[in-house]
Copies of this chain bind each other. A is one copy, B any other.
Amino acid sequence: MKKYAIIVAGGTGKRMGESLPKQFLKLGGTPILIHTLQAFYTADPEIELIITLPKEEIQFWDELNIWHQNYIEHKVVPGGETRFHSVKNALEHVSEGLVAVHDGVRPFVSAGSINQSFEQARNHKAVVTAVLMKDSVRQVDENGKSKNIDRSSLRMIQTPQTFDVDLLKSAYNTPFNSSFTDDASVVEAYGHSIILIDGEYQNIKITTPEDLIVAKALLKAK
């Protein structure tokens, strides 16, 4: 069965306070996005890799790859206005089988997690990695009042989120809605239920300068 991975790299570097978008920042000498590509290649070299990047960053990315020794074959697709539009664009290059959607700035995803995600998606069609909450959680209403929520019922959602290609393509034909924070929410709005599988705490999303410090420590510990 054919396998694809859409790696969404839409960052512009604003939150990082850096001029370089976060996906290009280096970890141990290698841009984050290349670490992420390597993670999928290591899990299974047969996975067809598609990266979505803001249009104005594609040339820079091509140049990055020229000098990088461990070039991994992949397609580059221009991103859209939001994450939803980027994934929708990338899906035009996907035909059949299974597709994992993954954040470009989650380079620490394990091979085990990627492969388990595809394995489960064969049967369940919509599989999302998630971890338990470590902290207590409160929900705030429009007046600023908050109430305790039972954290054991909550899961922090990660990527990869892996789907049957036909299902994901159909779901992405629904009109855009601002409540779509990830692919699971798009598929759910389309009426298909989601299966959660265990993610890993190390699979962090690098979005702030502090995350980058943590990422460097995790890389060293690998």
Contacts and interface: CB of A to CB of B under 8 A. Distances in A.
| Number of copies of chain A assembled together | 2
Contacts of A20: none
Interface in A169-217: 179, 181-182, 184-185, 188, 193-194, 196, 201-202, 205, 207-208, 210, 213-214, 216-217
A69 interface: no
Interface string A146-162: 11111101111110000
A156 B179 contact: no
Given A137-B154, A155-B146, A188-B147, A218 B213 contact: yes
A92 interface: no
A130 B137 CA distance: 9
Query: Taking chain A's interface residues, is the majority helix, strand, or loop, or is none over half, making it mixed?
Result: mixed
A149 B153 CA distance: 11
B207 A134 contact: yes
A196 B138 contact: yes
Interface of A: 128, 130, 133-141, 144-151, 153-158, 179, 181-182, 184-185, 188, 193-194, 196, 201-202, 205, 207-208, 210, 213-214, 216-218, 220-221
* In the complex, the 7 A-B pairs of residues with the closest C-beta atoms, listed nearest first: A217-B217, A136-B157, A135-B156, A148-B185, A136-B181, A213-B221, A136-B182
